[in-house]
A and B are shown apart, each in its own frame.
Chain A
Amino acid sequence: MKKTKPGYSLFSNFAWSVRMLMRYSRTALLLSALFIPVRIGLKYLEIYLPSLAVSEVTKGQPLCHALPRVGLVMLAILAGSVVLKALGYIRSSALGIYRYKMADLVTGKRLSLFYQTYEQKEVRDLAGRAETVTQMWDGVLPLTDMVEGAFGVAENLLGYLLFGTVISFASPWLVPILTAAPIVNLLSVRAYNKWEYAHRKQMTDLDQRLWYVAGLPDDFSAAKDIRIYSMASWLRACYRDLSGQQARWDKALVKRNFFTRTADLAVILLRDGGAYALLIHMFYKGQISVDEFVLYFAAIASFASWVDGILSCWNKANTMSLKLCDFRAFVDYPEEWAGRGSARAEDHRDAPPEITLRNVCFRYEGAREDTIHNLSLQIKRGEKLALVGPTGAGKTTLVKLLCGLYRPTSGEILFNGVPLSDFNREEYYQLVAPVFQEIQTAFFSLAETVSGKSLADTDLERARQCMCRAGLGEKLDGLPDGIYTKLNKKVHRDGTELSGGEAQKLMLARALYKDAPLLILDEPTAALDPIAESRIYTQFNEMTENKTALFISHRLASTAFCDRIILLEKGQIAQEGTHRELIRAGGKYKELFEMQSCWYQENPKGGEKL
């Protein structure tokens, strides 16, 4: 196992947390700071009160002398506890506000990080972990617990110093006795943490697997398969197995933890025993009075709590700090490719572009072979290009490269002669309108889904037109709220669900709405019925007017209205030309086309095999 060092130290994380609190929730910071002296003061008053009572009684003071003094102390206690309790509610709300504003940083990064980077599993995992830092789970919320832990250390340290001073008035010997103990404590806790850290990866791996399996039945799309194939017993067995493994880890952890705590308790036994013996000794020597004995006695008992507090808060801060490292590592994840920004997308928006690929290679991280290999290609201004080829030929990778989601491993892509890296990355996205194979819609209104903007920023009329052009006119007429209808019935009671075909049309409408000069359609008809498919084909020219377009499909019918066809095989161009040229030339394309079209002929040749 590779041992990785946390990216940020505890102190750095604390300083950072304070800075972030300054920025996002000063109230929370202020209250956290205010609570420190209040808590310490309260603790002191609590131990002072009995000593005061003993002193008044043993000195034989009258009631009128004792009561005002006791009353005054109690008023102070009242004030302190009211501050803690009432403002505690306010503080937890303030921390909630801090939490969501910080969560926004993760969301923002998730939505903007260079896609090629973001697609890597480690980065996505990191993003997942960063997100859990902002979420409450099993009573733990690392983001704010880190702050609590760090402030707790400060508070307990301060308490330790103050109480230590009080105790040292009794005997300077007490302080070393009382302080030596926690060092043993610290060592035993450290040994435990070290062990836990060394096995952390195994445990989190197991945890992830457990979560994965537990989540499967929850996945709605798997529900049909689970029923038809009676998978319940299989998944149950998987979960039981993992759960058993985890229980064994729990046992091991518990055992370690118990030994650690036993060492602590033994030290506490020695410490308290020693301190009491000393105090009793001093009393009999006449060095302290009874009420002082009571005060010191109580101070020693609570002195332990300061030391424990320092340690437990330190541990908490440390544990949370490790998690916070994930948060910061993700939020600060270096942008590999922001683009130079020397070219402006504005200047290229209005005319169909010319796209040039120059010796482009692309290899996935960790792969042994290029997915796209030394590919050179010129797409002319306004050209309609069809890209065909078997599964795994690199079509989708090529689309991602053209979209600027990936960057070539070597070689160059030029947009109107300008290298893509000259554009600001985000700005370049404005120039491409892709329709991808996989479809993922959220729960916004149809209008918002089409525009990718809020309703206020959406050109409703245009959104409606684009939906009609994509073949959703009839659907739209059938919805009482029309274009305002929200998607996802699970989120919105009055929402609607789209079928696969409708969702695909909606994605097409979105591309039309964007009206970018480069249109890329990746299998846009896979889920459509023949009539809808045919309609898309016939409208293709109208849709791509004044645009350069790339059409990817397994349906070779679609290639007929493209100006040129590229047959991609193993990341390279195997054939190119018009449909007619390629058919005439014979070879792979002709073979593929015949395979698909034979079933539509009067007497299918393939049928002979039946």
Chain B
Amino acid sequence: MTAREHLRIFRRGAEYSLRVNRKYTVLLMANAVLSSVTGYVPIYFSARVIDALIAGAPVRTVLFYAALTVGIVFAANLLCTYLACEKEAARKGVWRNEEWSYSEKAMGMAYESMEDPEVDRLRYRIRRESQIGQNLFLFYQHIERLTCQAARIAASLALTASFFTLPSVPLGLKLAIGAGVAAAMLLQTLATQKINGLDRDFNASSVEINILFEHFDDYIAHYGAGKDVRLYGMGGFLRDFLLSADREYWERDLKVSCRKALWTLPAAVLNIGLKFGVYAVLLYAAMRGGVTAGSIAKYVTCVMLLAEALVRMTETLQEALDNNHYLKRYFSYFDIPNRMYQGSLTVEKRDDNEYEVEFRNVSFRYPGTKVYALKDVSLKFQVGERLAIVGMNGSGKTTFIKLLCRLYDPTEGEILLNGVNIQKYDYDEYMSIFSVVFQDFSLFALKLGEVVAAGREFEEARVRECLEKANFGQRLAALPKGVHTYLYKSYDPEGVEISGGEGQKIALARALYKDAPFILLDEPTAALDPVSEYEVYSNFNRISGEKTAVYISHRLASCRFCDRIAVFHRGRIIQQGSHEELLADRAGKYCELWNAQAQYYITS
């Protein structure tokens, strides 16, 4: 990284810590200064006490010094404690904000990025790095440590200044001590650099395995996996797999640790050598009467503290430079652009629901793949029409829906709303015209009413009406707190468990509540039993009303209610028409699909 880049990241971190979490940062620094300086109070006064004792001062003087020591330390510690407590509360708040910032990012970023494995990798990596104490939290620590060290250096210098002005110590010895401090600092800096480098390399080479660990935990914790693992006797395999991955990881870690251990040796030796040197000089001076006995300890302690603070300061600065690599990656995740194309047009609100959507020669490839998931698809939705989309697994049906909902942008061609490319519309505005029930819909374990309204506020009567329309009425009546009941048990232990079929009904109710001009249903009956399925089919017209409806299903029975059917095959639309028209084409794909299913139901 260049110096300019380092500077840019520092500035960004500083801005962030001072703007977003100013209170925490200020508390952190205040506490750091105060707690560092407090340590010097007993050092200073104990020298005075000892000298007073040796000099045979009156007992009152000595007692006064002792009382002063104890009193000042008490007052300072009290204040420190207060600051530390407040700081701790602020720190928790910072953690919470930090946690949520990932959630905000996940909700704000383009769906395409969300689905991109590389983005996912990046997210895993920075989260992991935050967890092991890198990134922003280390940045705060650096602020704290640098403040501490600066305060220590100032205090040490203040207390040792008199030593360097002592006439009884030859200049050469003073310089030698200065040189010793510098040498200890350099050596320690080098060692720290090596040790940090080892850590960084280790972390970089562990990204893949850490992703693996995380996914492994997710898999094990998953509800459904529990049955599979038992019945398919996978326990041994899974355990062995994890153990061998763990073993490999920790063996590498141990090797790195041994190398780190070796690097600590030279600095430790030099440090003790320095301390011995300082003692020697002071003893020499004391014996010649240049230094009082009480001051020996004071000077030695302060010189060593000075050396240490200097070392720590360079260490911290180095670490901070090192952390910039992590911060850069961290910020790069949050800098991923949120939306693909930020249009600005508003969607005209029309009471007559006259929204015309057209696919014009649309082709699409998923990022990083060579095969087209959709190829040259052109289709115009008639207002108020019911369109069925059928085809085999992997024929491009769901991709078609994803493009329509602007979760992806077409690779080629364009999609038009009332004649204008949909990318020109404001994203949320465009989204407002669609109600979708995806095959893999998800419902949160929150209040039923909120879930249906997809928001904090909900109109109770309308929620109830939509649930009834979606055939959830009977179950709703049986719920203890009606629409105020929580779903599942993850959030509220008093919540109710619901089956897959019931979930599908709630998802449908959510789509109805939104009351958008387009309603898209992706396999809405897959998890339903025959009775519920029948009800959905029979009510299909009532459910879709005057809206334009798109219906994807493997249950071809559903096509009967649709005005038009589009048959997808290998990313293309190969047939279009009404049920009767398509069935008439005996050689067509639709006929093949229909017969494959209908043969089991046509009773003689």
Contact = CB atoms under 8 A, between A and B. Distances in A.
A533 interface: yes
Contacts of B132: 136
A212 B434 CA distance: 27
B265 interface: yes
Given A224-B438, A228-B431, A403-B227, A389 B529 contact: yes
Given A87-B261, A93-B253, A437-B500, A232 B600 contact: no
Contact of B114 (A82, A94, A223): A223
B271 to A, nearest CB: 8
A118 B103 contact: no
27 contacts: A53-B300, A63-B283, A89-B257, A101-B243, A104-B243, A121-B489, A216-B444, A221-B442, A243-B93, A247-B92, A250-B88, A254-B85, A265-B77, A268-B77, A272-B73, A297-B46, A297-B49, A436-B224, A442-B225, A501-B394, A527-B439, A528-B554, A533-B597, A554-B533, A595-B530, A595-B533, A599-B537
Contacts of B204: none
Interface stretch (A160-168, A426-434, A460-468): A426-434
Interface stretch (A107-115, A332-340, A412-420): A107-115
Contact of A405 (B133, B216, B222, B227): B227
Interface residues of B, number: 172
B187 interface: no
B30 to A, nearest CB: 15
Contacts of A533: 554, 596-597
Contact of A232 (B108, B224, B239): B108
A501 B391 CA distance: 13
Given A229-B514, A234-B456, A391-B502, A443 B89 contact: no
Nearest to B243: A104
B477 to A, nearest CB: 15
A311 B35 CA distance: 21
Contact of B89 (A137, A215, A250, A556): A250
A197 interface: no
A489 B287 contact: no
A501 B393 contact: yes
B450 interface: yes
Given A100-B250, A246-B92, A403-B231, A57 B287 contact: yes
Interface string A66-83: 110011001101100110
Interface in B167-214: 211-212
Interface stretch (A178-186, A273-281, A317-325, A378-386): A273-281
Given A58-B293, A265-B74, A405-B227, A222 B442 contact: yes
A571 B218 CA distance: 33
Contact of B242 (A104, A453, A526, A530): A104
Interface stretch (A1-9, A142-150, A255-263, A351-359): A255-263
A391 B557 contact: no
B450 A234 contact: yes
A73 B422 CA distance: 80
B518 to A, nearest CB: 11
B413 interface: no
Contacts of A92: 257
A607 B560 contact: yes
B261 A250 contact: no
A391 B528 contact: yes
Contact of B235 (A77, A112, A261): A112
Nearest to A559: B600
Interface string B584-602: 0000000011101111111
B283 A115 contact: no
B82 A258 contact: yes
B269 interface: yes
A593 B594 CA distance: 18
Q: Top 5 A-B pairs ranked by shortest CB distance?
A: A557-B600, A599-B557, A597-B601, A501-B393, A50-B297
Given A219-B442, A227-B431, A528-B554, A234 B454 contact: yes
Contacts of B93: 243, 247, 250
Interface in B114-141: 114-115, 117, 120-121, 131-133
A424 B180 CA distance: 72
B53 interface: yes
B211 to A, nearest CB: 6
B491 A209 contact: yes
B26 interface: no
A225 interface: yes
B284 interface: yes
A82 B217 contact: no
Contact of B530 (A77, A96, A254, A596): A596
Contact of A239 (B100, B217, B394, B432): B100
A188 B203 CA distance: 42
B405 A228 contact: yes
A454 B240 contact: yes
B272 interface: yes
Given A57-B286, A234-B456, A532 B392 contact: yes
Contact of B265 (A86, A137, A501, A534): A86
Contacts of A609: 538
Interface in B505-537: 510, 514, 523, 526-534, 537
Contact of A217 (B106, B221, B241, B556): B106
Interface in B395-440: 395, 402, 405, 407, 428, 431-432, 434-436, 438-440
A85 interface: yes
Interface string A506-527: 0000100010000000000011
A440 B225 contact: yes
A53 B47 CA distance: 13
Given A224-B407, A557-B601, 13 more contacts: A54-B293, A100-B249, A107-B220, A220-B114, A231-B107, A232-B104, A254-B85, A272-B73, A438-B223, A454-B237, A490-B121, A500-B439, A600-B556
Contact of A526 (B282, B502, B526): B526
Contacts of A20: none
Given A74-B275, A93-B254, A493-B117, A226 B603 contact: no
Contacts of A277: 63, 66
B283 A600 contact: no
A22 interface: no
Contacts of B537: 599, 606
B284 to A, nearest CB: 6
Contact of A222 (B99, B444, B598): B444
Given A70-B279, A600-B601, A226 B107 contact: yes
A155 interface: no
Contacts of A390: 529-532
B438 A537 contact: no
A541 B532 CA distance: 29
B118 to A, nearest CB: 9
A276 B66 contact: yes
B212 A77 contact: no
Contacts of B222: 440
Given A232-B108, A290-B53, A104 B239 contact: yes
Contacts of A595: 530-531, 533-534
Interface string B65-82: 011011101100110011
A85 B264 contact: yes
A269 interface: yes
Contact of B238 (A71, A107, A529, A583): A107
A265 B81 contact: yes
A88 B491 CA distance: 42
B160 to A, nearest CB: 16
Nearest to A403: B231
Given A74-B275, A212-B491, A111 B230 contact: yes
Interface in A558-601: 558, 560, 583, 592-593, 595-597, 599-601
A442 B224 CA distance: 11
A277 B556 CA distance: 95
A422 interface: no
A127 B220 CA distance: 11
